[in-house]
Chains A and B, each alone.
Chain A
Amino acid sequence: MSDAVVLPNDPRSLCEFLVRRLVDEPDAVSVTQEAGDGGPVLRIAVAADDRGKVIGRQGRVVRALRTVVRAGGARSNERVTLEIVE
């Protein structure tokens, strides 16, 4: 019946899952987590042609991504920051 992928409950996994689903080249996606001053920083790397898909018109996609991923980190009171790397 359901083929739903079960994700571990951490912001990086959720972020990577969502970005892979948004782009044309999921294999080129990598999301790495670093500790930042204000909480974890997720660095998103995608194929050059896919950057627009992750950012979206007027940044709407990346803004939605940030909101959803932050909701996942909200329980542990971590303020997650997203960055799209060149």
Chain B
Amino acid sequence: MDDLTYEATGETVGEAKWAALRELERRFPGLDRTGVAFQVLTEGERGLMGIGREPARVVATLGERPSGAGEQSDSPSPRPSAPRRSEAPRRAVAAPSTPQSDTAEATAVRDLVVSIASGLGLEAAVHVAESDTELTATLSGEDLGLVIGKHGKTIDALQYLVNAILTRGDDGKHVVIDAQNYRRRREQALHETATRAASDAVRLGRPVSLEPMTSVERKIVHLFLKGQGDVETSSDGREPYRFIVVAPAGASTE
């Protein structure tokens, strides 16, 4: 493999792309990111409860060797359309992306999230991945605990606002905001909670209530436990404190 090509792994395709890009930028400071092509070898397997997990693998190839090494990147700098009042210099970095797959929707999502990140004082890059039903914007950078917040409160609020702004009534694709693999970690934690509640419900022979969750999180738990014949799930309480009740199958008192 020559030095214009680098294979990297990551928990998601986006992370693998970033790892590869960082390595290429280390080799060629100031390279033109738009000249980097990505080939996804495998999207990776999430596995179940940590078993059978496979990292995503991506090969990044730089189209041509940069002429002047150490040259400043000529990628267009974000236009400051609002007066800059902050003392500390900050950058809003648009993420690398395979240009062909960049739809208007993906660009709109990235621009919006990049702006919000800048307003939060974060040096974060934003990568947008698109599927048939969803757009996932992943932030990478330093200090992202702030954007996730306690129990994911901030990242969920951010996601809600981005969807409120971009869908504006018409049914566009749902936007998911992620950072530091929060969504996957949260999903795994929910699966573990659900498994524990199900075994408790069966063992104790009575319903077990979970902590309040957002509708998206409740759906993850409902779907996860649906395949298990020995328990039934329902929701109780009012938003935003609505919670799931896991009951032994057939013992439902409703």
Contact = CB atoms under 8 A, between A and B. Distances in A.
Interface of A: 1-10, 13-14, 17-18, 21-22, 53, 56, 58, 60-61, 63-65, 67-68, 71-72, 74-75
Contacts of B94: 1-2, 4
B84 A6 contact: yes
A49 to B, nearest CB: 14
Interface residues of B, number: 40
A64 B75 contact: no
A68 B154 contact: yes
24 contacts: A2-B92, A2-B94, A2-B110, A2-B111, A3-B111, A4-B94, A4-B114, A4-B118, A5-B81, A6-B84, A6-B92, A7-B116, A10-B86, A17-B115, A17-B119, A18-B161, A22-B165, A60-B160, A64-B164, A65-B161, A67-B149, A67-B157, A71-B120, A74-B146
Contacts of B51: none
A47 to B, nearest CB: 15
Interface in B60-87: 75-76, 78-86
A10 to B, nearest CB: 7
B147 interface: yes
A62 to B, nearest CB: 10
Contact of B157 (A10, A63, A74): A63
User: DSSP class of A's interface residues: helix, strand, loop or mixed?
Assistant: helix
| 7 cross-chain pairs, A with B, having the tightest CB-CB distances, nearest first | A14-B119, A9-B121, A2-B94, A7-B119, A67-B157, A4-B114, A64-B157
Interface of B: 34, 75-76, 78-86, 88, 90, 92, 94, 107, 110-112, 114-116, 118-121, 146-147, 149, 153-154, 156-158, 160-161, 164-165, 239
A53 B164 CA distance: 9
Contacts of B107: 2
